[in-house]
Chain A
Amino acid sequence: MEDIIVPLTPPTLWQYIELQRGKITLAVIAQIELVLLVMSIVSVTAILTGLLVWKSTAASEAVTGFWSVIFTIPSLAMFIFFIGPFGLGWLPAVIALVLYGQLPVVRNTIVGLRSVEPAIMESAAAMGMKPFTVLRKIQFPLAWPVIMVGIRVSAMLIFGISAIAAYVGGPGLGDYLFSGLANLGSFNSMNQTLVGAFGITILALIFDGLFVLVRRVTTPRGLRV
Chain B
Amino acid sequence: MDYLFLFVALPHLGGSVSNTTHGQEIRLEQLTKRYPNTQKDAVSEFSLVIPAGECVVFVGPSGCGKTTTMKMINRIIEPTSGRIVIGGEDVTKTPAHELRRNIGYVIQQIGLFPHMTIADNVATVPQLLGWEKSKTRARVNELLELVGLDPSEYGSRYPKQLSGGQQQRVGVARALAADPAVLLMDEPFGATDPITRVRLQKEFRALQRELKKTVVFVTHDFEEALLLGDRIAVLSDQSKVEQYGTPLEILSAPATKKVESFVGEAASVRMLGLVSLASVSVVSGKVDGPMLPENATLREAMEAFITGAKSINIGERGHLTFEALQHEIAKTREGAK
> In the complex the two chains form, what is the Cα distance from A119 to B114 in whole Å?
12
Stretch in B18-26, B46-54, B156-164, B301-309 touching the partner: B156-164
Q: B304-331, CB under 8 A of A: which get 1 and which 0? A: 0000000000000000000000000000
Interface contact A225-B158, CB-CB below 8 Å: yes
Task: Decide yes or no whether A88 CB sits under 8 A from chain B.
Answer: no
Most buried by A among B107, B111, B161: B111
Number of residues of chain B lying within 8 A (CB) of chain A: 29
Interface contact A127-B100, CB-CB below 8 Å: yes
Interface contact B97-A129, CB-CB below 8 Å: yes
Q: A128-B101, A222-B159 are in contact. Are A122 and B107 (CB under 8 A)?
A: yes
Smallest CB–CB gap between B146 and chain A, Å? 18
Chain B residue with Cβ nearest A130: B97
Q: What secondary structure prevails in chain A residues at the interface with B?
A: helix
**What B residues does A129 contact at CB under 8 A?**
97, 124, 128
Task: Decide yes or no whether B287 CB sits under 8 A from chain A.
Answer: no
A-B contact count (CB 8 A): 71
Which chain B residues in 110-148 approach chain A with CB under 8 Å?
110-117, 124-125, 128
Interface contact A123-B158, CB-CB below 8 Å: no
Task: Decide yes or no whether A23 CB sits under 8 A from chain B.
Answer: no
Interface contact B114-A222, CB-CB below 8 Å: yes
Interface contact B161-A119, CB-CB below 8 Å: no
Task: Decide yes or no whether B217 CB sits under 8 A from chain A.
Answer: no
Q: What secondary structure prevails in chain B residues at the interface with A?
A: mixed
Q: A128-B100, A128-B128 are in contact. Are A120 and B161 (CB under 8 A)?
A: no
Smallest CB–CB gap between A117 and chain B, Å? 7
Q: A128-B125, A129-B128 are in contact. Are A123 and B100 (CB under 8 A)?
A: no
Task: Decide yes or no whether A157 CB sits under 8 A from chain B.
Answer: no
**What B residues does A126 contact at CB under 8 A?**
74, 76, 100, 103, 105, 184
A-B contact list, 30 entries, CB within 8 Å: A117-B111, A119-B111, A120-B111, A122-B111, A123-B111, A123-B113, A124-B111, A125-B76, A125-B96, A125-B100, A126-B74, A126-B103, A126-B184, A127-B124, A127-B174, A128-B100, A128-B125, A128-B128, A129-B97, A129-B128, A130-B97, A142-B113, A220-B115, A221-B115, A222-B113, A222-B117, A222-B159, A222-B160, A223-B114, A225-B161
